[in-house]
Structure 1
């Protein structure tokens, strides 16, 4: 039996609580949130223990693993508390609010011999997994360009970061994942019209000095769009994150890939629990989460300083 806790009970945190409570061989031991009434409400609903302070939860309960779904600025101190308590950690993306804090989290995980996984949920989207399989099989030939469009209306609960760190980082990570390469150059154009941070951005990525990536993201579009296009020498793939679909076009055919739809977060948490149980290293790792953060921070620096940024 894997004993888990959840820190942060907002929209995403509640989903972690729900899924853990439904998993076999997993016991949701406790949840923590400074909003005591919210923590108690969820604790009553899911028959677990509420805590206002996550440190008290670590003191009172013997946990094997914890999800951190608190605001980004709190990821670093909470993760260090959890790792030092001997608990495996799944932290929601982005890994931290600074590259230095991300590096310290990774170092702490190594020192305590605990797992640190970053919750880049689109890695577990069945359509992304199918497209990765197609690309790796060579069916599209050499991939030369991957572009993503992640736009939609603004969610008022997002106050501590801009659109690049909130949702643009998803596609930054996925483009790197699909290529199997790190980003080495970033150029971004962005602006702020309805938010204190940037609320729209076009992010140009260069990988391995030869491959192209493009992320368009904003909080200004009245309807949600989550799409990606991969261009290869033998064909083009069109992916829809929301529909969990992949369509392949070449000079002779239009084909729809067979994708078994499922809830990405459930797949993500199952992977995390399996790694805790088996002692295997989870993916995305802390290093992968740190790279996505480095690229996102470089994009912010690029549009601020109006120049290309090397990574």
Structure 2
């Protein structure tokens, strides 16, 4: 049976929105029927007409829309889509506050609409491979997760700091990879670039299974770094999401004859394995998954409930940094 082509819309023509437009314009089974930019950008998006309002996009009969406008507009625009029974892929973070995120969850779930959050890093091939290996028990018990997400300030950001722009990636990935919820966070921030929002945060957290977590995020480093290190019972996985490389450092199994080390009861260096992984574009995989979900096929998308969970943890990080306390979740 041949499925009908889906009609998709796009709201937002910023840096991320233009990438969404490129993928949507070439996505199998999908027609990009219209684009709206709340900031008034009238550039054409791969031959799709640029419309003035979300209402005009709704009138075109879109099956689903991608919401890639500033976070402060997510709630208003997404609620209009829900009221029109249009499915939505909403860029991360889901909303600017926990209450707004809850309203979006209720609006789409109560109507039975397919809706997801654009946590694109979940579709990074190295992280998808890592998750499968963790689920298979290749690392054994997980002890610690450390992430580093830093680089220069991106001019595209105007309305939030690193906690709401970058940290949600690592918060979402940590829960997704381990299947565990955060139970506490403690954070410190710094604002060094003269902007009203924080440009550095250090987070120490703990998951429900007692895994210890550390996130370092900033816009103050003159090079770009995206790494995740997961240490566990059998060794350590290291992921570079910029290059989609996954490396495994196994605990050593050889006995040592060196007397000075013989009494040491910790781990030793073992084999190192760098995996060969097919590298497809994460944004394309994300769109394929969401398209299939709209069709009603089995597809792994980031649910709004999962997006709400990440917004809650981000809000706890902000509260911890503001008041200098450890926040329980």
Distance 1:282 1:100, change over 3 A: farther
Partner in structure 1 of residue 76 of structure 2? 77
Matched positions, count: 306
Residue of 295, 300, 303 corresponding to 1:285? 303
What is the SS of the residue equivalent to 1:268?
A: helix
Is the 1:181–1:208 contact (alpha carbons within 8 Å) kept by the matching residues of 2? yes
Partner in structure 1 of residue 103 of structure 2? 104
Is the 2:38–2:69 contact (alpha carbons within 8 Å) kept by the matching residues of 1? no
What is the SS of the residue equivalent to 1:210?
A: coil
The worse-fitting range, judged by mean Cα deviation, of 187-196 and 273-282 is 273-282
The worse-fitting range, judged by mean Cα deviation, of 136-145 and 88-97 is 136-145
Task: Map Cα deviations across residues 178-205 of structure 1 (whole Å, 9 max, x no partner).
Answer: 1101111110011111121110011111
What is the SS of the residue equivalent to 1:161?
A: coil
Residue of 28, 41, 44 corresponding to 1:42? 44
Task: Map Cα deviations across residues 204-240 of structure 1 (whole Å, 9 max, x no partner).
Answer: 1111151111110000000100000000110101100
Task: Map Cα deviations across residues 11-34 of structure 1 (whole Å, 9 max, x no partner).
Answer: 100111110111111100100013
Does the alignment pair 1:244 with 2:262? Answer: no
Is the 1:115–1:282 contact (alpha carbons within 8 Å) kept by the matching residues of 2? no
Is the 2:93–2:164 contact (alpha carbons within 8 Å) kept by the matching residues of 1? yes
Is the 2:187–2:320 contact (alpha carbons within 8 Å) kept by the matching residues of 1? yes
Distance 1:212 1:8, change over 3 A: same
Partner in structure 2 of residue 268 of structure 1? 286
Is the 2:14–2:156 contact (alpha carbons within 8 Å) kept by the matching residues of 1? no
Equivalents in 2 of 1:115, 1:282: separation in Å? 12
Equivalents in 2 of 1:12, 1:216: separation in Å? 23
Partner in structure 2 of residue 193 of structure 1? 192
The two structures have a TM-score, normalised by structure 1, of 0.96
Is the 2:175–2:181 contact (alpha carbons within 8 Å) kept by the matching residues of 1? yes
Task: Map Cα deviations across residues 131-167 of structure 1 (whole Å, 9 max, x no partner).
Answer: 1111111111111101100000001221111101101
Q: Measure how far apart 1:56 and its partner are.
A: 2.1
Residue of 250, 273, 276 corresponding to 1:258? 276
The two structures have a TM-score, normalised by structure 2, of 0.91
Partner in structure 2 of residue 7 of structure 1? 11
Answer with 1 or 2: which has the greater Rg.
2
Does the alignment pair 1:152 with 2:151? Answer: yes
User: What value does the CA root-mean-square deviation take over the aligned residues?
Assistant: 1.2
What is the SS of the residue equivalent to 1:138?
A: coil
Equivalents in 2 of 1:263, 1:279: separation in Å? 21
Equivalents in 1 of 2:116, 2:21: separation in Å? 17
Structure 2 counterparts to residues 84-99 of structure 1, below 5 A? 84-99=83-98
Structure 1's unaligned 5+ residue stretches are: none
Structure 2's unaligned 5+ residue stretches are: 253-269
Question: After the TM superposition, which segments of 4 or more aligned residues of structure 1 sit over 3 Å from their partners?
Answer: 279-282
Q: Measure how far apart 1:278 and its partner are.
A: 1.6
Equivalents in 2 of 1:278, 1:42: separation in Å? 31
By percentage of residues, which structure has more helix?
1
Is the 2:184–2:205 contact (alpha carbons within 8 Å) kept by the matching residues of 1? yes
Residue of 32, 36, 44 corresponding to 1:32? 36
